[in-house]
Amino acid sequence: MAALRRLTQYPPRGMAISTLHTSSCASAKQHYKMLVLGGGSGGISMSARMKRMMGAENVAVVEPSEMHYYQPIWTLVGAGAKTVASSGRSTASVMPSGVKWVKSKVQEINPDTNTVRTDDGTEISYEYLLVALGLQLHYEKIKGLPEGFEHPKIGSNYSVQTVEKTWKALQNFKEGNAVFTFPNTPVKCAGAPQKIMYLSDAFLRKTGKREKANIIYNTSLPVLFGIKKYADSLWDIVKQRDLQVNLRQNLIEVRADKQEAVFENLDKPGETKVIEYEMLHVTPPMGPNSVIKGSPLADEAGWLDVDKDNLQHKRYPNVFGIGDCTNLPTAKTAAAVAAQTAILNRTISKILKNEKPDKKYDGYTSCPLVTSYNTVILAEFDYNGQPLETFPINQAKERRIMYHMKADLMPHLYWHGLLRGLWGGPGPYRKLLHLGMK
């Protein structure tokens, strides 16, 4: 259970846990034309593109983790439809060949001196910086966590250390409340907290336990889903399947020894409600990477402050950002990263030529809302919350073909396309459809 205790400081991509500074005398200075911070989906996909643009010897990636995970599949791992082993590959196997892998954590970013310091004291200088550090999970902001994960009946699909506990809790469910939560913070993959609810409902029906289950979704949001077209369809599913949705309810404490979850009513601060559970799925509070938050690169909230059109930093023109660490006003998903890669690639190519960026990111993001073991509602939308759909069908309807795309096709495209810088771009599904019609 020691691994569960470490969730208190479970780091995002390439981030240092410690805030202590070590001497740069520990090792010689290094310099790269393009330094990429973070080896997640954004960092690896862009380093592959930068290798082709600048040459492998001019690119380095700072990433401490030995393993790289395709996190979107954890929804299905938590429901027993996929294995956790299938979600991971070694970082060495996805790192573009010839690109320097700096196996360290980022300690400090100094954009005024064009340097980055790692936790082993190495100082790395750069000509251009690409920040892809992701966001940080904060289980510790819920009283009773992360130590509560040492008890059964509680899991979380947001960490490789707890996702299998979700499946065990679901398998061992007998009768009572199955509770699913959404925190009062920005989150990555905002549909995931309710996807596991729909899958749990399907599993309990399949195993004959549904009549003894009361399924509860407590969300801090004032809506079920942010885009009305898809929210309307989800409300229909909620009613059809007798799922209880409570809006503006925020999880503030878990009493794992008593199997109790405590929620605060956000519309009536201070008013709390205790719910006993037989199964609890926790979506943790999330926040900006602390290294970014403590640097001049951050906005007032701590996120990487980039231009929403071209992903170039607003104050440091040789700095760029991608993915969950940025303040781009769109949902934080892998599909958003895929859409951002081609825009950012174009932006950087123009900057290298001393030209102005000429392509704009429209905020495209996608959330395949898994509603059962064989159906998905494919939500796609832009900065304005307007549907930005790929297929000539009503995507607000549950479809089997979309489930197979989510469960089978997308992982393949992720490992063999996106991470190699070969797939993505504005509306990545549109590109996929175009390729399929050729």
pTM of the complete model: 0.92
Paired with 247 in beta bridges are 219
What's residue 103's pLDDT?
98
Residues 352 and 345 sit within 8 Å (Cβ to Cβ):
no
Burial class (CB in 10 A: 0-12, 13-18, 19+), 302: buried
CA–CA gap between residue 263 and residue 334 (Å, rounded)? 30
Written as six digits, the tokens of 420 are 């190699």
Neighbours of 228 (CB within 10 A): 13
Is 325 part of the annotated catalytic residue set?
no
Q: Is the pLDDT of residue 357 over 50?
A: yes
Catalytic-role residue among 77, 292, 367, 369 = 367
Cα–Cα distance between 253 and 275 in angstroms, integer?
A: 11
Whether pLDDT at 273 is above 70: yes
Instruction: State the average pLDDT over residues 363-370.
Output: 96
**What does pLDDT average to over the chain?**
92
Q: What is the pLDDT of residues 155-206, one digit of tens each?
A: 999 999 999 999 999 999 999 999 999 999 999 999 999 999 999 999 999 9
CATH number of 31-134+289-367+410-434: 3.50.50.60
Taking the alpha carbons at both ends of the chain, their separation in whole angstroms is 51
Fold of the 139-287 domain: FAD/NAD(P)-binding domain (3.50.50)
Structure tokens, 426: 């504005």
| Choice among 16, 37, 73, 189 that is catalytic | 189
Please confirm, yes or no, whether 189 is among the known catalytic residues.
yes
**34-61 pLDDT, tens digit each:** 999 999 999 999 999 999 999 999 999 9
214/433 Cα distance (integer angstroms): 40
In this structure, what are the phi and psi dihedrals at residue 316, rounded to the nearest 5 degrees? -120, 100
In the chain, CATH 3.50.50.60 covers 31-134+289-367+410-434, 139-287
User: Please, which pLDDT band fits residue 424 given cuts at 50, 70 and 90?
Assistant: confident
The whole-number pLDDT of residue 309 equals 98
